[in-house]
Structure 1
Amino acid sequence: MSIAFQATLDYAKQLDKEDKISHLRQEFHIPKDKSGNEWIYMCGNSLGLQPKSTKEYINQELTDWANFGVEGHFEAKNPWMPYHEFLTDSMAKIVGAKPIEVVIMNTLTTNLHLLMVSFYQPTDKKYKIVIESDAFPSDRYAVESQIDFHGYDPKEGLIEWKPREGEELLRMEDLETILDEQGDEIALLLIGGVNYYTGQYLDIKRIAELGHAKDCMVGIDLAHGAGNISPNLHDSGVDFAAWCTYKYLNSGPGSLAGLFIHEKHAYNKDLKKFSGWWSHNKSTRFNMRQDLDIIPGAEGYQLSNPPILSMAAIKASLDMFNDVGMEALREKSEKLTGYFEFLINQIDTDRIKVITPTNPKERGCQLSVQVKNADKSLHKALTDNHIITDWREPDVIRCAPVPMYNSFEDVFRMVEKLKTLL
């Protein structure tokens, strides 16, 4: 059922009063100007805001480090030896996985490389990789380097799934065509679950079905999906996925990433992988002279002991997610972006359009607003007015009203200022 939105400040404030999770905003540090007025922060798709509890969580580990030294691995309030395990259940719920399928470790592109060690096993006949034509650059660089590492030409080995001429969004039938025509030569599909540029949320399960029908491995980059949409990774059947935690998961700049290995691969000892000390059986890990006894599932992809201070920040955020749940966040997100889209469409100009899908089920928090004949000066003007979005060449402002801390009033005031600037 569609909602009869209204383009007034009073209406936006009324929506905030009716919002069942509006109290979460008070749990975050909202940047302020010199006069103490809060910024309108719509850049959670790039870096999420800091939960107020983060300092407490990190300080706990600093205190235990000071008090226990190395004994903190076992004597800390949250012992460091199994610290990553404190994150697993919450993270698994967010991405729709089983605990054995998820681990927090490394950073996103590092994890993608480690995953491709296992899931990109090219042969002379079947060596190509499919990505979206406008994949995030780090994905493209990683894939090209993997193809090259295995002795193939990236120009021949990289296949781009492209929007049609004059369109911005990807069509699933075009991926089907690629697989029908070249499936016998394709070893891997590595697709962004939510496209960073358009905000399009792709049908992950359908992608897995199409890839597997042609005997291809299927991986998903959830950098712009984790904590934003509900990808239901286990049920989707994808072989692997990876994501960062500093966007919608609010864990701090450059924080650790997440990794998913489907349960069907958990006990496959023939699966090639790079291993390290932390891949080894926990019960005998400190018996240094034993042969590698690899842990089943995602934990077996760990290499080194984890950075606890980063994990403490992640724990602060995941505990909040665990309290509120993705269902409530998605419900607000769909209403928030629906109101945002409504207000954008009320602007009396043919200069702007939303290129993100209009169907709320095909997008997350982000709306990408294309502005005809604009340049980065428009984005700078928004920033000068303490409205934080980000700019993507040639003419797109990406805006992410995040349900945890953005309000309907934020959305209204942002669009009012955009109208003035246009």
Structure 2
Amino acid sequence: MFETENKNTLSTYKLGLEYALEQDRNDELKSYRNQFHIPKDAGGNELIYMTGNSLGLQPKATKSYINQELEDWANLGVEGHLEAKNPWLPYHEFLTESMAKVVGAKPIEVIVMNTLTANLHFMMVSFYQPTKTRYKILIESDAFPSDKYAVESQLRHHGIDDKEGLILWKPRKGEELLNYEDLEAILETHGDEIALIMIGGVNYYTGQFFDLKRITKLGHQYGCKVGFDCAHGAGNVALNLHDSGADFAVWCTYKYLNSGPGSLAGCFVHERHAYNKNLNRFTGWWSHNKQTRFNMRDEFDQLPGAEGWQLSNPPILSMAAIKASLDMFNEVGIEKLIEKSKKLTVYFEFLLNQLGENVISIITPKNPKERGCQLSIQVKNANKTLHNKLTEAGVISDWREPDVIRCAPTPLYNSFEDVYGLVEKLKAILNE
């Protein structure tokens, strides 16, 4: 048996398929799996889908949400902006409250717009304001590549050498996870040179969930602006963005938020910046006062809050897909999802541990409070061939160079039986 503490509830995990099936029978969220399209093999058998951390599955309701907008477009044309069942003009407002709940923010602090890296750039226009003495950007050394490319390009845009201006928070030799004491040491040495700290809220590779509030407090103590890329956190962990005090955060919606490939992204700007019209930013007509937007010839009048960072009228079909998912999140509640997520992931960890430490290494933090549902697995002496064999066995997982298989048992549609089946298939491949 394996015991762990989850939200003060002692959960005991056991081996065997019957235990997994029993957990699924007792799962109050089990019906939600049936509300998703589960990919199948050529024989019509459901695959074990463990890549919600890369692309979430499609809710069955998504098609009807999009079809509603297609019908209104067909029947109403331009009048759909005001006369559609869900009028297009204020459509983004239909998403705000639900999205704010998911990320732990106030509605004034949240907007759905653009795509992830575009939003990161727009945030850096406002919150990366280098001076001759304070111009460096601090990121984690193994940040998602797009984040690294984006901050390097911002440095170059301001005429700063992208190697000299970038400070990397690195793990200690022989370790995979980052240590807060090392971050403190960096800031003690370079704090007065750092203009911006920009960290991935949950690291894409290790699955480490950072203490956003701790990092923000530390950064602000040294006069740095602080932002987070929450692509692997939104819909997965309790981000509590407002309470974190972060200046900004960005995230995508196609992973845990199940809104479809390349869908629109989310953006958070803390309410203390909501009415600051002196913040440098790029603007467009969608960040202009809604009441006078269509007067066309008025001088720019900044909207307050995160809405004031919009540029263009948004793609409604993408927002419809986001609404389909967020309505489900709103129905379930992020707290219940996180509770099930922890149970699934600890059960997954328990089964992997049965394979032996000399075979499997989990580089994701052991403490459930320091991770989401993703476990990053290293298998000794393995290469991508192992991942390919898992795929052939009906497991959709995720390979990341040089030697990690990422699996994310996602609480809305993954089951304990999925987790059991994955580990059984992995065990069979290792025993070949």
Normalised to the residue count of structure 1, the TM-score between the two structures is 0.99
1:124 maps to which residue? 132
How far 1:18 moved relative to its partner? 1.0
Tell me which amino acid in the other structure corresponds to 1:408.
F
2:352 maps to which residue? 344
Q: Counterparts of 1:209 and 1:131 in 2: how far apart (Å)?
A: 16
Moved more, 397-406 or 30-39: 30-39
Provide, for residues 2-31 of structure 1, a one-character-per-residue CA deviation record: whole Å limited to 9, x for no partner: 432111000000010111101110000001
Contact 1:101 1:260 in 2 (8 A): yes
How far 1:372 moved relative to its partner? 1.5
2:282 maps to which residue? 274
How far 1:153 moved relative to its partner? 0.6
1:210 to 214, 218, 237: 218
2:43 to 22, 35, 39: 35
Q: Counterparts of 1:80 and 1:50 in 2: how far apart (Å)?
A: 23
1:22-421 to 2 correspondences below 5 Å: 22-348=30-356, 350-421=358-429
Q: Counterparts of 2:408 and 2:12 in 1: how far apart (Å)?
A: 22
Provide, for residues 88-111 of structure 1, a one-character-per-residue CA deviation record: whole Å limited to 9, x for no partner: 000000000000000000000000
Q: Show structure 1 runs of 4+ deviating over 6 A.
A: none
Alignment coverage as a number of residue pairs: 422
Secondary structure of 1:317's counterpart equals helix
Provide, for residues 319-347 of structure 1, a one-character-per-residue CA deviation record: whole Å limited to 9, x for no partner: 00000001100000000000000000001
How far 1:348 moved relative to its partner? 3.6
Q: Over aligned residues, Cα RMSD in angstroms?
A: 0.7
Tell me, which stretches of 5 or more residues in structure 2 are unaligned?
Answer: none
| % same residue | 72
Q: Counterparts of 2:13 and 2:106 in 1: how far apart (Å)?
A: 39
Tell me which amino acid in the other structure corresponds to 1:142.
A
Secondary structure of 2:291's counterpart equals helix
Q: Counterparts of 1:349 and 1:242 in 2: how far apart (Å)?
A: 36
Secondary structure of 1:357's counterpart equals coil
Q: Counterparts of 1:275 and 1:99 in 2: how far apart (Å)?
A: 20
Contact 1:373 1:395 in 2 (8 A): no
Normalised to the residue count of structure 2, the TM-score between the two structures is 0.97
Tell me, which stretches of 5 or more residues in structure 1 are unaligned?
Answer: none
Contact 1:192 1:222 in 2 (8 A): yes
Provide, for residues 229-281 of structure 1, a one-character-per-residue CA deviation record: whole Å limited to 9, x for no partner: 01100011000000000000000000000000000000011100000010100
Moved more, 2-11 or 383-392: 2-11
